[in-house]
A and B are shown apart, each in its own frame.
Chain A
Amino acid sequence: EAGVTQSPTHLIKTRGQQATLRCSPISGHTSVYWYQQALGLGLQFLLWYDEGEERNRGNFPPRFSGRQFPNYSSELNVNALELEDSALYLCASSVRAAFYGYTFGSGTRLTVV
C-alpha cells in the first residue's frame, strides 16, 4: 500500500514569491492535515481538510491557504513568502476518526531566500 506522498521534496523560493506544495493521502483516507515544522518550534497545525471542505485552521495568516480535491489529494499554497516561512511542511492523512491517528508523509522542505 502506498503511503502518504508529498511533492516536491525540496523547494527553494525567493521572498515574495508563491509556493505550492502537494500531498496525496493513503487510499481510503478522506482527511488531510498540514503541519509546519520550523526549527525549534515543533509541529504547528496549519489546516485540516475532510471530504473537500476546510474543517479547521491553525493560527496562521490568510496567505497560507489550500484545498482538497475530489480524489482527496490536497495542496497547500503559501503566498507572499517570508523568510520565516522556511520550514519542513508535513502532510498527514487519516480516516475521519481521531483514535486512528495519522499517517505522515516525508515532508517538503521549503527554503525562502
Chain B
Amino acid sequence: AQSVTQLGSHVSVSEGALVLLRCNYSSSVPPYLFWYVQYPNQGLQLLLKYTSAATLVKGINGFEAEFKKSETSFHLTKPSAHMRDAAEYFCAVSDRGFGNEKLTFGTGTRLTIIP
C-alpha cells in the first residue's frame, strides 16, 4: 500500500526565510501526490498536486513542490515565509487507476513562523 512520510512534525522558520517541508512517498509506481494546508479549526485546503505533468508544481500562496522519482520525494518549498503561512501541512498520496482514489495522508508538519 502507498504511504507518505513527513520528516519533522514541527518546523520553525523566521519570517522571510525559506520554508522547506519534507515528504517522501512509498509506492511501486509513480503516484499522485498532494500537499494540503490546515489552518486552526478549519478543514484542509489543497495547495498543489503532482499528476505526472511537470515535475515542478506551483501552487497557491507562493508554494511549490518538486517531484523527484530518484529520491521518492515531494518536498514543499516557499522562498520567503510570511506570518500567515503558520499552519499544519499534510502530504498525501493516491495510487493511479480507477478504484484507487483514496488519499493516504502523512502525519503532518506544523509550521511556525518566527517574527
Which residue of chain A has the shortest Cβ distance to B108 in the bound complex? A42
Contact A98 B44 (CB under 8 A): no
- A57 to B: closest C-beta gap in Å: 10
Asked whether B99 is an interface residue with its Cβ less than 8 Å from the other chain, the reply is yes
Q: Determine chain B's interface SS by DSSP, over half rule.
A: loop
Interface residues on A, range: 20 to 34
Contacts of A97 in B (CB 8 A): 101
Interface residues on B, range: 20 to 34
Which residue of chain B has the shortest Cβ distance to A58 in the bound complex? B102
- Whether A98 contacts B95 in the complex (CB less than 8 A), given A42-B90, A42-B105, A42-B107, comes out as yes
CA A90 to CA B107, docked complex, whole Å: 15
Q: Which of B11-19, B45-53, B74-82 contacts A (4 or more CB under 8 A)?
A: B45-53
The contact of B106 among A4, A42, A104, by CB within 8 Å, is A42
Binding site for A on B (CB under 8 A): 32, 34, 36, 41-46, 49, 51, 90, 94-108
